[in-house]
Amino acid sequence: MLNYPLKFTPILKEKIWGGTKLITQFNKKSTLNNIGESWEISDVEESISIVCNGNLKGLSLRKILTKYKSDLLGKNNYVNFGNKFPLLIKFIDAKQDLSVQVHPDSELSKTRHNSFGKMEMWYVMQAEENARLILGFKERITLKQYVSLLGENNILSALNDVYVKTGDAFFIETGTVHAIGAGVVLAEIQQTSDVTYRIYDFDRVDEQGNSRELHTELAVDAINFSNKIDAERSYNKEVNVLNEVVKCEYFKTNFIPIVGKKEIDYSQTDSFVIFMCVEGSAEISIFNNSEIIEFGETLLIPAIAKKVIIISENCKLLEVTV
């Protein structure tokens, strides 16, 4: 039955830029090296999440969605998305800089890849000293200037660095040239899409001496060349309150510091709820069934649940709905 908080087996992704923190600090289990991403909830083909707790253990997210439909997604969400879960939820550990990249919007993604677009947000969980993100251009440039900088292998000179600390949050609109810098660990919430156009990869090669593919021509049509990138989000941090961080047409994320007991009424929320634990731990209950969420874990609350009870001595959660 769909009467308890669902937990999924993390899908770990080995990346040339990845590190060890997802294993050593987030307690993910793997024998792989350089783990860059932990896909917590995914409906991306070939990487569909599997339930690891309760009576639905062993079933895929896709199978559960196909069976329970709007009871899982919410009535309006099911009308809009059918048997396709609309969000991809990750933790990311960047030991090295990620590639400089851009995501196409929904229209371009649909036309080229029959995919959703890739609007996303980041919540910084850890940041080493002088850790940074790349977000947009320092100043507006033309297509001709951009192409010239790429040809000169000098694109970094035009890009905007933003230095970060734990708790910083960013909304990355499609079309924004961006990269996660070395020393950053973050939670990522995005539309269900794995479409990324890689622009620059710091001249890296793999163990066989091969460079990763660049998507120079595809990226041109997707890029916003403006320097007016308003990505950083300020938000309140009031205890036991749903503090809004990001609200867009694809998802809404609140920051909830919990001390003691918090009961949340979802009777007017026609959506599933995702909780990501970014500090501490908590007990989360629906229908008198509870699950513990630890630092670096994620739970999915079905839309059919109209009341959630959270108990914690002290934790911080991201709450995500559509």
* pLDDT given for residue 152 in this prediction: 95
Task: Looking at the structure, tell me whether residues 52 and 171 fall in a common domain.
Answer: yes
289 within 8 A of 241, measured Cβ to Cβ: no
Could you tell me if residue 224 is inside a domain? yes
Are both 24 and 145 inside the same structural domain?
yes
- 81 in a domain, yes or no? yes
- Which CATH number characterizes residue 280's domain? 2.60.120.10
Statement to judge: residues 124 and 252 lie in one domain: no
Give the per-residue pLDDT at 287: 98
Q: Tokens standing for 302?
A: 């079905």
In a domain, 5, yes or no: no
Do 212 and 302 lie in a common domain? no
**Tokens 């090669």 -> residue:** 205
Residue 106 has pLDDT above 90, yes or no: no
Q: Is residue 6 part of a domain?
A: no
Together in a domain, 120 and 229:
yes
- pLDDT tens-place string over residues 138-173: 999 999 999 999 999 999 999 999 999 999 999 999
Nearest to 175 by CA among 121, 139, 224, 219: 224
Q: Are 87 and 153 members of one domain?
A: yes
Class of residue 28 by CB neighbours under 10 A (exposed 0-12, middle 13-18, buried 19+): buried
User: Considering 233, 268, 290, which residue would you say is the last residue of a domain?
Assistant: 233
In a domain, 141, yes or no: yes
Retrieve residue 146's tokens: 């951009």
Same domain, 73 and 192: yes
Residue where a domain terminates, one of 188, 215, 233: 233
Q: Which of 92-96, 202-206, 219-223, 298-302 is the least confident region? A: 202-206
Supply 98's token pair.
């990620």
What SS3 state is found at 160? strand
In a domain, 91, yes or no: yes
Domain final position from 201, 233, 265: 233
Do 61 and 101 lie in a common domain?
A: yes
Confidence (pTM): 0.96
Do both 204 and 176 map to the same domain?
Answer: yes
Is residue 219 domain-shared with residue 266, that is, in the same domain?
no
CB 74 within 8 A of CB 9: no
List Cβ neighbours of 235 (8 Å cut-off, separation of 6 or more): 169, 243, 244, 245, 255
Q: pLDDT grade, residue 226 (50/70/90)?
A: confident
Task: Give me the chain's average pLDDT, please.
Answer: 96
CA 252 from chain center: how many Å? 12
| Predicted local distance difference test score (pLDDT) of residue 117 | 85
Predicted confidence (pLDDT) per residue in 22-79, tens digit: 999 999 999 888 999 999 999 999 999 999 999 999 999 999 999 999 999 999 999 9
Least confident of 46-50, 112-116, 171-175, 187-191: 112-116
Does 227 score more than 80 pLDDT?
A: no
Query: What is the pLDDT, as a whole number, of residue 172?
Result: 97
Range of the domain at 22: 11-233
Count of domains observed in the chain = 2
The predicted structure's pLDDT at residue 90:
98
Assess whether 250 and 229 both reside in one domain. Answer: no
232, amino acid identity? E
Residues 218 and 292 in one domain: no
Classify residue 4: in a domain, yes or no. Answer: no
Whole-number Cα distances in Å, 132 to 161, 180, 196? 6, 7, 20
